[in-house]
Amino acid sequence: MSLNEGDQAPDFKMAASGGREVSLAALRGKPFVLYFYPKADTPGCTKEACGFQEALGGGDITVIGVSRDPMKAIEKFAEKYRLTFPLASDESGKVSEAYGTWVEKSMYGRKYLGMERATFLIDGAGRVARVWRNV
């Protein structure tokens, strides 16, 4: 499934770093950024997370990072880089599948399933306001 601007954002509820829980229901009423990244503590994902921290950390907009890593790896990543926004664990893959970010990829001629780096801006009504894919 591919989400487009104007679509209703799929519902979610996930465990997140710092003992938090994040859900679409709890975030309604305010816009937020939901970004999907392939793997905690890898160069590209670290650069992306630190970029969000620098640009939006502590600001008026909530940022939530999502990967399929186990919570232990996510906690370690968040602590190592002192990320103040929640990083959520989608180990089951249900959220990444609902947002269309679990896709077929190819590397060195080998095809496999993996996380597409994508960012969604969700408005206060729970609709997708903007989508950036393969960022």
**Active centre residues (catalytic):** 45
Residue whose structure tokens are 């104007």: 6
DSSP alpha helix (H) spans, 3-132: 24-27, 43-56, 71-80, 94-98
89 CB-contact burial (10 Å; exposed 0-12 / middle 13-18 / buried 19+) = buried
How far is residue 59's CA from residue 20's CA, in Å, rounded to a whole number?
A: 18
